[in-house]
Structure 1
Amino acid sequence: MNNNKTLYFERAGMDFYSNEQTDQSDVGNFRIRTSFFDNDGVQHYVEVSNGHRPKKNNKSKDEYYLSVQHFFDVGEQLDNPNRKVCKEFDDHYLRTLDYTKENIIKLINDNLNCNFESMVVLDRFYDYHVHDGKGLYNAMEFIELNHERAKARKKAYDKTVEKYKAIFNRKYPAISIKEMSDTYMILDNHQGKDLLEKLNLVSRYEKIQIDY
């Protein structure tokens, strides 16, 4: 029996960036994924995103509906790598479901022998990656939920990004995370070699300390 009542997801897409988006959904990201064990100890993989429901009744914007990309038994898929084992949902039914946490939880509980009560979409600073790079799936039950570390990582990252906004005079500098540990992060600066040289930046990588 899985006694974990909270379902944790990895952010696999872009975070919502406007009030219009957050008004439509409480998920916070356009594409999310997770792997977890059901009440019988069977591991599953689920990936969902927002679909666009056409405007109706003179509404000013499209609405988000719940779109399912992957929904399968991990063991069955690994045993049958050349066969699609993903559960199929009727698209007309999914279009009736808003892209919300409540509907995602209900879809999983109703179809996968689970009894989750809430869900959280973790940001990148928790360093949860469902895909392990070797064809296997990291279950959410083994996430190290170190909230203080995640908060400290985000604070250090945001501070560095603000610095590069000023240096490059750009609202969205292209900075990604190359590596994370308990005490430091290595950031990757994607501004281009010519611009880095022009601004006397000797490396595209910067190591920043994490204090918590």
Structure 2
Amino acid sequence: MPEPRVYVALVHYPVINKEGKIIASSVTNLDIHDISRICRTYGAKAYYIVQPLREQRELVKELIEYWQNGYGRVYNPDREDALKILKVVPALKVALDEIARKEGRVPLLLGTDAREKYANISFARARELVWSGEVILLLLGTAWGLAPKLIEACPYVLEPIRGRGNNYNHLSVRAAAAIILDRLLGESWWKRI
């Protein structure tokens, strides 16, 4: 079985706000290192923070510097290790081009959204796709989710993460990232029962 070639992008633009308007969202400190740790744990090839605002990119770089070269490196070496796969880019195209250069082909976009209307692939089918050796870029949205234009550009959009028997569905992007990567890249624990 081929080794999975999954990349993750946390998209800050284009995303929508609660009124449905396209915006650029702000970075959140927890998203930086928590999603890096999740990606590192599950073997993602790289974690991209897509942030068009220069000041926001500089803030992320400052935080990374603290954890990789400042006191944070001494205080928590595991975090420094996880952040090695993090890349901050001004646009999704930059990530796509970098992955294409590295892999020899443009990655397949796998979108995510909490709304059912965009879903066109189950987690089971997406897992098969991941383990087939396809180069995948998983897009995670911030704010109220990826802009419709971006979702529609994805050949595949994962089904929403469903809770247990209720209609509440508003996970943090960190929680969603952990669940999604576990379902796509995690061990097949159910086969050991």
TM over 0.5: no
Structure with the higher strand share, 1 or 2: 1
Q: Which has the higher contact order (CA 8 A, sep 6+)?
A: 2
Question: By percentage of residues, which structure has more helix?
Answer: 2
